[in-house]
Structure 1
């Protein structure tokens, strides 16, 4: 059993993972710090009938709800029983009309960081845009002001510092995928790297 956990807990922890009580910080490059939120926006673009841009105030005014999940990092840690506050993808998509050929999503974050996702995974009711974690606003290190949360995949797919959501017809690799990470990243299949 993992860390002396019980069977129910172990059923929630994918192969090769170790439980943590903390919330490790892992990223490439520097952490963006925002001092003037009037300069922050979120763009929705690509294969949509009309591109949208949310200002910080417009995004923060969207209806929010609570989400509970477990998260699993490709670097082998898992954190159970996370409580988030965020905007559901369904709420966001009420404002977006997709073109029928849209099959994939690319998340665009600060510093040119990107990661890809099939549209089916983006549209799941478990995927959301997180604003708070365990009752507190996200810290800059964890993606303030908004990060994507895709809990059924390794956590690099949950892009921090989100600035854009692009809808695409064909899949293409994001930053980590171009650097050897798996195109999909299912923790239960240990899809860590492109040869997994």
Structure 2
């Protein structure tokens, strides 16, 4: 037997359901999101709003209105279809859902709290960036120090050898010109690039040179 709103087909005996209903006896209402004859049409309502199973119109919840329930109630209105009228003073804010009056100062405090959180996040990001820059600077400084130490280590031996050669040359004034020329040529060949010698880092080699001087004076 068909429901009272349905018609019976005189040939087949099947129930012809009206819009918004379905089933063998037309006793079931369309599922949420569907409407029309045999519930073949689909609703498009925002904010999880229901739709009329017959017409497909969106049934907006309190505080919303519009064809698809996408708009909030204007100032001074609240409730279903924004039919309620707020009774708040000029210094109070009307809740679009319940119609309750809230102080605008409280609303501003909540907004300022959100801004404060954003400021803290930005400060944390800036601090992180500063730490990264300092770390890069320290690493660069350590690399420069290592290069200087390496330069000092490599330049120590050539400076000592050159000073020893000069000491030998000055301690043998009686040698012939050929011997002096040979020592000078040897010294020049060992240090063929005076410009590079100026780049070497100076190290305290005084103790070694003094030891050589004492040994030569003994002889």
Does the TM-score normalized on the shorter chain lie above 0.5?
Answer: no
**With structure 1 as the length reference, what TM-score do the two structures score?**
0.16
**With structure 2 as the length reference, what TM-score do the two structures score?**
0.15
Q: Indicate the structure with greater strand content.
A: 1
Q: Indicate the structure with greater helix content.
A: 2
Q: Which has the larger radius of gyration?
A: 2
Higher RCO, 1 vs 2 (CA within 8 Å, ≥6 residues apart): 1
